[in-house]
Amino acid sequence: MFTGIIEAVGKIVAAEPNGGDLRLRVQSNDLDLGDVQLGDSIATNGVCLTVVELPGDGYWADVSVETLDFTTLRQWKVGRAVNLEKALTPTTRLGGHLVSGHVDGVGEVISRHKDARSERFRIKAPSELARYIAHKGSITVDGTSLTVNAVDGAEFELNIVPHTIEKTVIGTYQPGTQVNLEVDVIARYLERLLLGNDAASADGSKKGIDIAFLAENGFYRR
């Protein structure tokens, strides 16, 4: 698990195809790797990767086909900047929110403009994720824990302060940039829980939660 508070920005220095998937090397002189061991997890632009080698100035990780298919990682080239965060410990301050490092989908930056000293970003999420994104709720964008400032269908807005612009890869975003999205884990589990016994059926996972379902189960009064 992670908090979504970025510790350092690293860069991709090698991306080697390996048996149908990928072997990735990430370099960072700013991330303290002194307490990292082989098998530990590091969120890399929001993707939980397992450390398989520690060359001293970064780490190597293996990337599965599943990860390549459901994240922006297939687009990564040598030289790309990436957000980095080590897995949290029992004594870590939870400054963001609970983040699993399991990307739910890929979004696209629609617009970016100044808002006083901050900057306002509008991002379009995949339609199937829209129900998990709430005004003033939390969302993870490329591993960064952020607050949703507005929601319009599958699009949402973020107000990013100067510190976050400077210390994460968000400062590089332009319209058209694709980003890894992870919705609030509580929302995902709550939806599954509300399905009740239907969750065990083949069709249960496809039903989702709507007004009719909530009314039928006593959570909504017409």
Residue 88's SS3 state is coil
Three-state secondary structure call for residue 96: coil
Question: Cα–Cα distance between 214 and 199 in angstroms, integer?
Answer: 15
Reading the block at residue 15, the tokens are 């991306």
**Structure confidence at residue 215 (pLDDT):** 66
Residue extents of the structural domains in the chain: 8-86, 187-216
Q: What is the DSSP string of 101-166?
A: S---EEEEEEEEEEETTEEEEEEEPPGGGGGG--TT-EEEETTEEEEEEEEETTEEEEEE-HHHHH
Residue 104 pLDDT = 96
pTM: 0.88
| Environment class of 54 (CB within 10 Å of its CB; exposed 0-12, middle 13-18, buried 19+) | middle
Which residues have a Cβ under 8 Å from the Cβ of 66 and sit 6 or more positions away? none
| pLDDT reported for residue 209 | 60
8-86 classified as CATH 2.40.30.20 = yes
pLDDT, averaged in runs of 10, over the chain (222 residues): 96 93 95 96 98 96 95 96 94 86 97 97 97 95 97 97 97 98 90 82 62 63 62
